[in-house]
Structure formats: structure tokens, C-alpha cells
Amino acid sequence: MKRDDVFEFFRRLAEANPSPETELEFGNVYQLLVAVVLSAQSTDVGVNKATRALFREVKTPAQMVALGEEGLKAHIKTIGLFNTKAKNVIALSETLVREHGGEVPADRDALTALPGVGRKTANVVLNCAFGAETFAVDTHIFRVGNRTGLAKGKTPAAVEQQLEKKVPQPFRVGAHHWLILHGRYVCKARTPECWRCPVVDLCAFKAKVLEKGAKPAGVSRERAPAKSVRKAPAARG
């Protein structure tokens, strides 16, 4: 996608949603970190259902440590992979208490050193909590980047690199939200709703669905997201 078209792409998404935000619910940076760790391989809606009661009770890493692994499991058992996630959340909370004075560090290396926190999770936290220009490539961004030609790549890391290179100001902080929301609600995996897409004329996807109710052609032949998008969050979220 040409440089002018990339600008226009984000200008239109920004016009439709000037203040994009994560759909995860949280009250402070620590709760955001926990919510993002819990959201791997799960929907934001499912995570929010589980964390509403949890976050009324637990607002700090110390309170999470006091709750303990079994107590946490009781709150999050509706979320996929909850056993591993509970273990990671308790371990990362212990590390925050022990090594960071109970605060979430605004530093990618320090974040990815926490149990269960990978580059994607760190990028989300840095972006949503600290306003950093990071591009957390999840399954939606991977798909939208490749379909549109905005950021092509065989792996999330390659797509992230392309976004780093191509997304212009003043869209760099909001880009990750706009792309996720666009992928979640318009450029859907099975049937992209190209007939109502605000960037249809800029998009390079060949199998556009230009009529509501029409069958998508060629979507099933798309390259599957790279393995690391789908892997369990046990090692790296």
C-alpha cells in the first residue's frame, strides 16, 4: 500500500472512532496487565465477565498474592487455559511485589521478563497504559495487515515490523486499536464485510465481499495465521 493510501486508511478509521480504546475492562495499570494476560486465546467479553468481581476484590499485586492461586482460579474458571493463566498471574504478581515495588514497569524488557508476559502482551500494556507507539499483532491485526496490503508478513513479528515502518503520525498510538476493531467488526475472518468497509477502495484483498449476503470467495485459501498467534499463552502471552 502506498504511503498516501496508508495515511488515508488510518484517517478514515480515526474519523469513525476518534478515541479508540481497548474493550477490556480495568481500573488501573496492574488490572490491565492481568486482563491482557487472561485474554490470550479468549474473548474480551469473556474476560470482562470474570474480572468484574475479581477486580472489585483485587486491585494490587499484593492483594493478588494474598488471594492465592486457588482463589484466583475460582474467579477465572470460565476462561480458557485458566489453570496456566492463574499460575502465571500469581507468579507475575509475586515478581512485581518483589522486584518492582508493586508497580507495573513501563519497559518492554522488564514486562517480558514477567511470567506469562510475551511481546504482544507487553505491547498492549505499553500502548494502552503508557501511550507508547507499539503494535501488538493479534489474530485480527495479522489478518487485516495481510489482506489489505498495509503490513504483509508470514509471522506476527514480520507484520509488527511493517507496521512500525509504515504507520504515520498522528496515528501511531491509536493504530493498534483501530486495526483490532476493524478486524473484529468489519474485516471479519470468515466473511469480511467489504460492502460497508470505509477503506474498501484502498484495500488490496482480491476476494472482497461487496454484497451483503454474498458468499466469500477465496477466504478459506488465506494463509493461516502464524503459529505463534495461536500458541497457548503458557510460555509467552
Please tell me the distance from the alpha carbon of residue 2 to that of residue 158, in angstroms, as a whole number: 18
Q: How far apart are the first and last CA of the chain?
A: 30
User: Which region, judged by CB under 6 A, interacts with ligand SF4, from 15-23, 27-35, 194-202, 224-232?
Assistant: 194-202
State how far the Cα of 56 lies from the Cα of 115, in Å rounded to an integer: 23
Q: How far is the CB of 205 from ligand SF4 (least distance, A)?
A: 4
User: Smaller CB distance to ligand SF4: residue 13 or 50?
Assistant: 13
Q: Is residue 140 within the footprint of ligand SF4 (CB under 6 A)?
A: no
Determine contact, residues 216/191, Cβ cutoff 8 Å: yes
CB of 57 to ligand SF4, least distance (A): 41
Binding-site size, ligand SF4 (CB under 6 A) = 13
- Residue range at the interface with ligand SF4 (CB under 6 A); choices 55-63, 71-79, 192-200, 226-234: 192-200
Answer yes or no: are the C-beta atoms of 133 and 151 closer than 8 Å. Answer: no
Q: Give how far the C-alpha of residue 59 lies from the chain's centroid of Cα atoms, to the nearest Å.
A: 22
CB 182, min distance to ligand SF4, A: 7
Rounded Cα–Cα distance for residues 74 and 82 (Å): 10
Instruction: Please tell me whether residue 81 binds ligand SF4 under the rule CB under 6 A.
Output: no
* Active-site annotation, residues: 120, 138
